[in-house]
Amino acid sequence: MNSKIDRRIKYTQMVLKESLIKLMKEKPITSITIKEVCELADINRSTFYSHYKDLYDLLHQIEDGIIEDMNETLSAYNYTKNEEAIQMTEKLLEYLVKNRESCQTLFSEHGNPTFQKKVMSLAHRHSLKSLMADRKNLPYNAEYLSLYIVNGSIHLVQHWLKNGLKESPKEIAEILISLANKGLSSLQH
């Protein structure tokens, strides 16, 4: 009996999340009502309120799940090895592809800038670990370099998501790691 209830709860939360994301593709959360989300999800408002305080609570749960998944992925790799850095980045990009609809929306102009900052902060922390492991070869302050790399990487990924994922996650991972390691000179052959 308990597993049946758990499945129903998971299903309800899933359709509410999907409905919010679908609506956010068209307009910002400030223009979306709980009524719209519930109608799209085919769920009544009292059911919505049994799971979430408001739309922002729902949005934050979506965002927190993505941040948690990304952190787990980033924590599983050794930053000092270039092959593992590419694999880690590729796994992150594969995650974005797998969760394409949510990620495209959350990284778009209708997405929450706070979420985008959280992603950048997470990437910055992990980037700093990598740079600190290789500190002896750095001519700059590692924190500044990390901020530069992370901001450029986020914008590159946003562009990739927005423009239909034409390149594979592996190709984008190789570009990102190459740029992070050697800058623009790495792209000149």
90 and 144 share one domain: yes
Cβ-based neighbours of 62, under 8 Å, separated by 6 or more: 17, 20, 21, 102, 106
Is 80 exceeded by the pLDDT of residue 188?
no
What is the span of the domain harbouring residue 6?
2-52
User: How many Cβ atoms sit within 10 Å of the Cβ of residue 170?
Assistant: 14
38 and 111 share one domain: no
171 and 85 share one domain: yes
Residue for token digits 């979430």? 52
pTM exceeding the 0.95 threshold for the entire prediction: no
pLDDT of residue 183: 65
pLDDT of residue 132: 57
pLDDT of residue 88: 77
Is 60 exceeded by the pLDDT of residue 10?
yes
116 and 96 share one domain: yes
Is 90 exceeded by the pLDDT of residue 180?
no
115 and 138 share one domain: yes
Judged on CB neighbours under 10 Å (0-12, 13-18, 19+), 33 is exposed
Task: Tell me if 111 sits within 8 A of 59, measured CB to CB.
Answer: no
Q: What is the pLDDT of residues 127-172, one digit of tens each?
A: 656 655 555 555 566 677 777 777 888 888 888 888 888 999 889 8
**Residue 162, SS3 per DSSP:** helix
CATH number for the domain spanning 32: value is 1.10.10
C-alpha span between 39 and 18 (Å, rounded) = 12
- Closest C-alpha among 160, 38, 36, 42 to residue 93: 160
pLDDT of residue 30: 92
82 and 124 share one domain: yes
116 and 75 share one domain: yes
Judged on CB neighbours under 10 Å (0-12, 13-18, 19+), 139 is exposed
Higher pLDDT, 130 or 85: 85
47 and 74 share one domain: no
Q: Give percent above pLDDT 90 in the chain.
A: 31
Show which of 33, 52, 71 is a domain's final residue. Answer: 52
Task: Tell me if 113 sits within 8 A of 105, measured CB to CB.
Answer: no
* Residue 108 structure tokens: 């778009």
Is 70 exceeded by the pLDDT of residue 186?
no
pLDDT of residue 134: 55
Cβ-based neighbours of 41, under 8 Å, separated by 6 or more: 12, 15, 16, 18, 19, 48
Average pLDDT over residues 11-23: 95
pLDDT of residue 75: 78
171 and 127 share one domain: yes
- Closest C-alpha among 15, 186, 170, 26 to residue 93: 170
* Number of independent structural domains in the chain: 2
